[in-house]
Structure 1
Amino acid sequence: MKWYADRPVRLTRQLIADLLAVGWVALWIWVATTAHDWVLELRAPGDGLVNAGGDIRDVFTNAASKAKGVPFVGEDLSGALGNGTKAGETLIGVGNTQIGVVQDTAFWLAVALVTIPVLFLLITWLPLRLRYALKAGNTAKLRDKPDLLALRALTSLKPRDLAKFPNDPAVGWRTGDTDVIEELAKKQLAALGVRA
């Protein structure tokens, strides 16, 4: 395979296209990470619930342990305050659930924001580059076989390029005219940006 052309104009276009493809991927990675960070800011209420639940749980746990020391009603009072501990645990659970949802949303949004544009790039740009690399590589292998290159040129060059020949290039190829064959071979190589 031959990834890049030998001719400067085509090589420049290929390099620019490749740099644009890399820039496209980098742009969408940046967009995805920025969106991920913005969505993660939505976890603040969940963090608040976890902190508040922890504070409530700690206060009621301490109160329940101290209430055990109250004569006659200590156990009952401790049990009642233990329900406050459960309320704190419930708030912590709700806060953790909200944090989990926000984190999952941020992750999958970032994945989607990278995957979709990169897939679009791979579907459009990559097949063109691969096709060129294969075609140019195979054509470059034929540099020492001008008859085959000339035949390929007769079938693949644009009619306006073939019309520029002073005589019919197909007749020149059939009769073995070396000037026509060499010119057709050069045009075929040039069409792919490959040096003769």
Structure 2
Amino acid sequence: MKLYADPGPRLATQVAGDLAALASVVVTVRVATRLREQVLGFGVAADRVQSSGERVSSGASAAGTALTDLPLVGGALSAPFEVVADAGRDLAAAGSEAGGSLDGLAALLPALLVAVVVGYLVAHWLPARVAWVREVAEVQRLGHTPDADRLLAHRALARRPLHELRRDGADPVADLAAGHWTSLADLERRALGLTSRPDRRRPIG
């Protein structure tokens, strides 16, 4: 199985594309890891908010309880501390909720980023590479048949731009009609990145 074209512009394009795909995956994983660390850092801050709220609530409740035992004014003096204790409990609850949400985001956002990049590569880069490998394998197989040049010449006439066809022959249609298939077939092979002609003595198999 041939994975790359023969030395030439097509090979350079393939290598550059494969390296770009690999680099994009590596960079994406690194960015996703860094993103996860950043989100978890916010989660640490949320944990601190929760701890602070719990300490405020506990301290204010203890102070309010102590003041309640004072005769006459105990109830009035303890009321503000109960308000502070309630605020501390609300703060602790908010910190706990934020921490849970950030833990989920720390897992979801990096996974989503990697999925988008890998999904793009699977949908665009990979099919093109697989299609080229299969196409070249078929052309190489056809290269061992007597009618290989004729088939590739027809394909070149149908697929190659006009300026490429004119470059290899003054009248490619006339060449095809006259059975002069070699130049057109070689043009199609070069377009695929195959610079060497196949050994026609080998059988199909």
Partner of 2:100: 100
Partner of 1:122: 122
What is the total number of aligned residue pairs between the two structures?
170
1:104 offset after TM fit, Å? 0.4
Judged with a 3 Å threshold, the aligned counterparts in structure 2 of structure 1 residues 48 and 152 are, in CA distance, closer, same or farther, namely same
Q: Which amino acid aligns with 2:105?
A: T
Q: After alignment, is 130-139 or 43-52 more displaced?
A: 43-52
Distance (Å, rounded) in 1 between the aligned partners of 2:168 and 2:26 = 47
Partner of 1:110: 110
Distance (Å, rounded) in 2 between the aligned partners of 1:168 and 1:90 = 85
Q: Which amino acid aligns with 1:118?
A: V
Q: After alignment, is 146-155 or 157-166 more displaced?
A: 157-166
SS in 1 for 2:142: coil
Residues 122-154 of structure 1: CA distance to partner in whole angstroms, max 9, x if unpaired?
333223223322222222222232221222122
Check whether the contact 1:143–1:149 (CA below 8 A) recurs between aligned residues. Answer: no
Check whether the contact 1:140–1:189 (CA below 8 A) recurs between aligned residues. Answer: no
Distance (Å, rounded) in 1 between the aligned partners of 2:153 and 2:166 = 15
SS in 2 for 1:112: helix
1:90 offset after TM fit, Å? 9.6
Q: Which amino acid aligns with 2:121?
A: L
Distance (Å, rounded) in 2 between the aligned partners of 1:44 and 1:9 = 52
Q: Identity percentage over the alignment?
A: 30
Q: Which amino acid aligns with 2:171?
A: D
SS in 1 for 2:25: helix
Check whether the contact 2:168–2:183 (CA below 8 A) recurs between aligned residues. Answer: no
1:51 offset after TM fit, Å? 5.1
Check whether the contact 1:51–1:92 (CA below 8 A) recurs between aligned residues. Answer: yes
What are the ranges of 5 or more consecutive residues in structure 1 without an aligned counterpart?
A: 60-86
Q: Which amino acid aligns with 2:136?
A: A
Q: Which amino acid aligns with 1:133?
A: V
SS in 1 for 2:151: helix
Partner of 1:187: 187
Partner of 2:154: 151
Residues 65-97 of structure 1: CA distance to partner in whole angstroms, max 9, x if unpaired?
xxxxxxxxxxxxxxxxxxxxxx99998876554
Judged with a 3 Å threshold, the aligned counterparts in structure 2 of structure 1 residues 14 and 173 are, in CA distance, closer, same or farther, namely same
Q: Which amino acid aligns with 1:188?
A: E
Q: Which amino acid aligns with 1:175?
A: A
1:55 offset after TM fit, Å? 7.6
| 1:44 equivalenced with 2:47 (yes/no) | no
Distance (Å, rounded) in 1 between the aligned partners of 2:30 and 2:174 = 58
What are the ranges of 5 or more consecutive residues in structure 2 without an aligned counterpart?
A: 60-85, 198-205
**TM-score of the superposed pair, with normalisation by structure 1:** 0.69
Aligned alpha-carbon RMSD (Å): 3.2
Where do 1:4-43 residues align within 5 Å?
4-43=4-43
